[in-house]
Copies of this chain bind each other. A is one copy, B any other.
Amino acid sequence: MTYAAPLREMLFTMKEIGGLDAVLAQPGHEEVTPDLVEPILEEAGKFAAEVLAPLNHPGDRQGNHWEAGVVTTADGFKPAYASFCEAGWHGMPARREFGGQGMPTLLSTAVLEMWKSSNMAFSLCQMLTLGAIEAIATHGSAELQQRYLPAMVEGRWTGTMNLTEPQAGSDLAALRSKAVPEGNHYRISGTKIFITWGEHDMAENIVHLVLARLPDAPPGVKGISLFLCPKFLVNADGSLGERNDLVCASIEHKMGIRASATAVMSFGEGPGAIGWLVGEPHQGLACMFTMMNHARLNVGLEGVAISERAYQQARSYALDRVQGRTLGREGETNATIVGHPDVRRMLMDMKARCEAQRAIAYYAAGQMDRAHGHADAEQRRSAQQLVDLLIPIVKGWCTEGAQLVTATGVQVHGGMGFIEETGAAQHQRDARITTIYEGTTGIQANDLIGRKLARDGGQVMGRLIAMMRADAAAVAGQGDALLQRLSVALSGGVEALEAATNGLLALGSREAAAAAVPYLWLAGTVVGGWLMTRAADAASTQLASGSAEGDFLAAKRVTALHFALHVLPQAAALRDSVLHGAASTLGLAAEQF
């Protein structure tokens, strides 16, 4: 149940897929010189392996303890969190102006992957806090920023997002929590559920961001405002004052990420929780949406990270477990199960999916840096368009892929995989939430076909398709048989994606929505195949120039081939599913189910 950060693979993907050199050359990243990147990754890897990974399984077993509104985290979490903050990891991705290190998204993405791999439950606390910091930094008043952000960046205080209510899950229009003005602040009341790290004992204070309605609010999503409600009120000098009128009513018993408390928060059981408006009245949803791309990238990254962890565990089991004669190698005794062809198939599938998922996530992260900081405005605009198109794919495809990879991880273990002590089952249980929170796969897919595809008539997707086609042609011309096979497979995938895109654009909105998820899978599969082709191309170039990492680079080529031969063929089936439309999907009356 150990974890080792895949440094070589991460660096390769950052450089060859994420465009690390170009990102570091952008204005604003002068302090992050290229020679700093590897040491940062190494240190983070050490912290993940030595401090966070050992707590992952015990934390799952023990979970959190709730009593009378107080949540006690699992043994070891509190000191680990203190070390995490002390080492400066907590604020690393946050803006420099409030005490963070303002790392490029591409670099922080690789580091965050390690926290998520080593201990997904633990990592959620930082992830939520970073989101809250970003919301306050973007939309909060200068006073709120000064009073709250330094401690949040340090990690002394953590942050949460209070969106969901019992009657309002994905449909925020149905929110009922109320905010009533009182002097320079508001009194908030209402019940919020599914609040990740909503209450715990690792930090001095917890800063809740809460969606609620003002008395004059219009109905629906246009009447929702965002408020900051701290657990303890904060005095002007930054010291903690009275306890606010909010309490953790209970915590959930969940399938996975059990070491993270998922709280039911009750605001205003007394006079109302004191809160401050963040951003303009009725603009709460817009404020949340500012952070959406980062939040969805991060949950997609959880898919990558938990896949990587499951892969490492399965690999280690397959290399250690002595069992059986191996077909075609009957002379060997005491062979490990990695010799069995079907175990190989499972490991190759896991490895290929992990690397393709990572490639998509890092590519999007690199484009986010480009969109944020490229010197040229046209380049920024163009990168932002790609980011907007890719984010639902990163979130949807990487997390759906994590379901397959972690399930296969259990399967590699045979009966031992079903025994909780082994640890493989936890990865599958932890992964299960990733296709659900921060917008289900269905919601990502509707975002993709609606706001991203239909709104511009498929223009940006057309540009992406043209880029993929150009790369397929380029690698075909290099006289390398393996690259030629990749080119053929990729071209087939791109054709399927183009046909499905055109077919989808011609459908009515209900019919298109019925095909949205297969379309998202298709897009993820083809983009994954594209980036694996680019990776194999880069590996081939490095190999030809006599790199010392021949084994790694040769494996990258074979892994790309595996993706091309065994994953990309699904593109045609998914295209068919999209094109066959909704005849059967919407063909039954509700009472016929």
Contact = CB atoms under 8 A, between A and B. Distances in A.
Contacts of A341: 510-511, 513-514, 516, 582, 585-586
Contacts of A417: 436
Given A411-B435, A583-B561, A593-B351, A169 B328 contact: no
Nearest to A516: B342
Given A324-B170, A551-B591, A342 B517 contact: yes
A344 B514 contact: yes
Interface in A525-580: 551-552, 554-555, 558-559, 561-562, 565-566, 569-570, 572-573, 576-577, 580
Contact of A587 (B410, B562, B580): B562
Nearest to A558: B587
B558 A584 contact: yes
A230 interface: no
Interface in A285-330: 315, 318-319, 322-325, 327-328
A433 interface: yes
A511 B346 CA distance: 14
A340 interface: yes
A569 B573 contact: yes
A441 to B, nearest CB: 7
A490 B320 CA distance: 43
A11 interface: no
A171 B333 CA distance: 12
Contact of A561 (B433, B561, B584, B590): B584
Contact of A420 (B254, B327, B514): B254
Contacts of A170: 323-324, 414
B338 A593 contact: yes
A514 B347 CA distance: 12
Contacts of A514: 341-342, 344-345
Contacts of A509: 327-328
A421 B251 CA distance: 12
Contacts of A336: 590
Interface in A245-273: 252-256
- Listed residue (A318, A322, A411, A591) with the most chain B CB atoms within 10 angstroms of its CB: A411
A277 interface: no
A94 interface: no
A588 B414 CA distance: 22
Contacts of A435: 411
Contacts of A428: 255, 432
A325 B220 CA distance: 11
Contacts of A570: 570, 573
Contact of A425 (B167, B315, B432, B559): B432
A431 to B, nearest CB: 10
A185 interface: no
A415 interface: yes
A360 B511 CA distance: 31
A343 B442 contact: yes
A193 B416 CA distance: 10
A573 B568 CA distance: 8
Nearest to A339: B590
Contacts of A561: 583-584, 587
A440 interface: yes
A174 interface: yes
Interface in A410-467: 410-411, 414-421, 425, 428-429, 432-433, 435-437, 440-442, 445-446
A347 B593 contact: yes
Nearest to A172: B324
Contacts of A322: 167
A367 interface: no
B415 A171 contact: no
Nearest to A315: B593
Nearest to A577: B566
Contacts of A559: 584, 588
A348 interface: yes
Given A315-B593, A592-B554, A418 B344 contact: no
Contacts of A584: 348, 558-559, 561-562, 565-566
A123 interface: no
A585 B436 contact: no
Contacts of A252: 419
A158 interface: no
Contact of A436 (B323, B418, B518, B555): B418
Interface string A490-519: 000000000000000000111101101110
A430 to B, nearest CB: 10
A118 interface: no
A56 interface: no
Contacts of A346: 442
B342 A445 contact: yes
A33 to B, nearest CB: 32
Nearest to A410: B432
Contacts of A416: 169
A588 B436 contact: no
A252 to B, nearest CB: 5
Contact of A437 (B319, B323, B415): B415
Contacts of A432: 407, 410, 418, 425, 428
13 contacts: A252-B419, A253-B420, A255-B428, A342-B517, A348-B585, A415-B436, A418-B432, A425-B432, A429-B429, A551-B592, A562-B584, A565-B577, A569-B573
